[in-house]
Amino acid sequence: MPISDEQRARTIERFERHRRTWAENPALRALYAEWYGRIADALPSPAAGPRVEIGSGPGFARNFVSDLELTDLVRAPWHDREVSADALPYRDASLGAIVLLDVLHHLPSPRRFFAEAVRVLRPGGRLVMCEPYISTLSYLVYKLFHDEPLAWRVDPLADHAAGDARDPFDSNQAIPTLLFGRARPAFEAAFPALAIRHLEHLAGPSYPASGGFSRAPLLPWPVWSFLHRLEARLPSAVLRRIGFRLLVVIERI
Ligand SMILES: C[S@@+](CC[C@H](N)C(=O)[O-])C[C@H]1O[C@@H](n2cnc3c(N)ncnc32)[C@H](O)[C@@H]1O
């Protein structure tokens, strides 16, 4: 569906607002440094082929992974090109890696995007994503305090699982958890060429305590920073219950 000029202007305004919030909030910058660091560690070597980020939005990736091509459905001055996730403008088997941070749960058709990823990734190439994760704790926080919807009773591989009114920020935060949890067998049956290599739960209460992009930080920076360091020591079984983020590493076989 084409994007109207008004939607385009609203989206760029939102990117600019997020860039200002990010510049003013050290907790958000620390979280993004951690997430992009984890993404960078999971990427194949640059020799595997070009690396592209889909849905770069405010463009924070530029600070952490220098050789990523930055793209978005709505092109801003800091993006390298305009790209829609469901019709990737790349040749078959031409990319080494695709990165998504907070994007999969916004796509009108995750199924079309995965089909495109199969087509454009080289064998051995990787799709690395960091997305919202619905744990016992994050369910309550996302449901009660976050402005994005969370719809649990959907088929995450159905078109419009992230909503019908197609604004680039429409979303369903449950999609990544559903896809790599209860719907994992359906995902694996639909995309036998995509092998899930690694799933990891990240970010405990330090994430909501950062204030995100819509609130002021809940804790002074030194206290927040202490909490963040403490969380890094938590065993994975605890983060499974209280985590807010899911790292997904998929390989094209
Ligand atoms: C929550 S923002 C995340 C932005 C950035 N990755 C970050 O973490 O700061 C979601 C982004 O996905 C983009 N997006 C939504 N639908 C898209 C699509 N079909 N193809 C490509 N990008 C899309 C939006 O324009 C927006 O920039």
Query: In 10 A of CB 153, how many CB atoms?
Result: 6
Please give the distance, rounded to the nearest whole angstrom, from the Cα atom of residue 101 to the centre of ligand 1: 8
Which position has the higher pLDDT, 247 or 145? 247
Taking the model in full, what pTM does it have? 0.95
From start to end of the chain, where are the E strands? 51-53, 68-72, 81-82, 95-101, 121-132, 194-202, 245-252
Distance CA 74, CA 71 (A): 8
> Could you tell me the residue range of the domain that residue 219 belongs to?
5-252
DSSP per-residue string spanning 185-197: HHHHHH-TTEEEE
Which element (helix H / strand E) includes 176? helix 175-179
Measured from CB, residues less than 6 Å from any atom of ligand 1 are 11, 54-58, 60, 72-74, 84-86, 101-103, 106-107, 168
Closest Cα to atom 4, ligand 1: which residue?
57
Distance CA 173, CA 86 (A): 19
Please give the distance, rounded to the nearest whole angstrom, from the Cα atom of residue 103 to the centre of ligand 1: 5
Tell me the pLDDT of the chain averaged across its residues: 94
DSSP letter assigned to residue 87: B
Please give the distance, rounded to the nearest whole angstrom, from the Cα atom of residue 211 to the centre of ligand 1: 20
pLDDT above 70 for 29:
yes
Question: How would residue 31 be classed by pLDDT, with cut points 50, 70 and 90?
Answer: very high
- Count of helices and strands (H, E) across the chain: 9, 7
Distance CA 41, CA 128 (A): 10
Distance CA 50, CA 67 (A): 8
pLDDT above 70 for 202:
yes
Atom of ligand 1 nearest to the CA of 32: 8
DSSP letter assigned to residue 85: T
Atom of ligand 1 nearest to the CA of 100: 6
Q: Say how far residue 177 (Cα) sits from the centre of its chain.
A: 12
Give, for ligand 1, the residue of 19, 84, 106, 142 to mutate: max count of ligand atoms closer than 8 Å to Cβ: 106
Please give the distance, rounded to the nearest whole angstrom, from the Cα atom of residue 72 to the centre of ligand 1: 6
Domain tally for the chain?
Answer: 1
Atom of ligand 1 nearest to the CA of 15: 27
Question: How would residue 45 be classed by pLDDT, with cut points 50, 70 and 90?
Answer: very high
pLDDT above 80 for 160:
no
Average confidence (pLDDT) over 224-237: 95
Give the torsion sign (CA, 3, 9, 15, 17): negative
Domain containing residue 11: CATH number? 3.40.50.150
pLDDT above 60 for 11:
yes
- Name every residue whose Cβ is closer than 8 Å to that of residue 6 and which is 6 or more positions away in sequence: none
Q: Which neighbouring-strand residues pair with 38?
A: none
Average confidence (pLDDT) over 224-241: 95
pLDDT for res 162: 59
Q: Render pLDDT for 69-125 as a digit per residue (tens, 0 to 9).
A: 999 999 999 999 999 999 999 999 999 999 999 999 999 899 999 999 999 999 999
Question: How would residue 164 be classed by pLDDT, with cut points 50, 70 and 90?
Answer: low
pLDDT for res 167: 77
> How far apart, in Å, are the Cα atoms of 88 and each of 84, 166, 176, 183, 235?
6, 18, 20, 24, 38
Distance CA 35, CA 102 (A): 11
pLDDT above 60 for 197:
yes
pLDDT above 80 for 163:
no
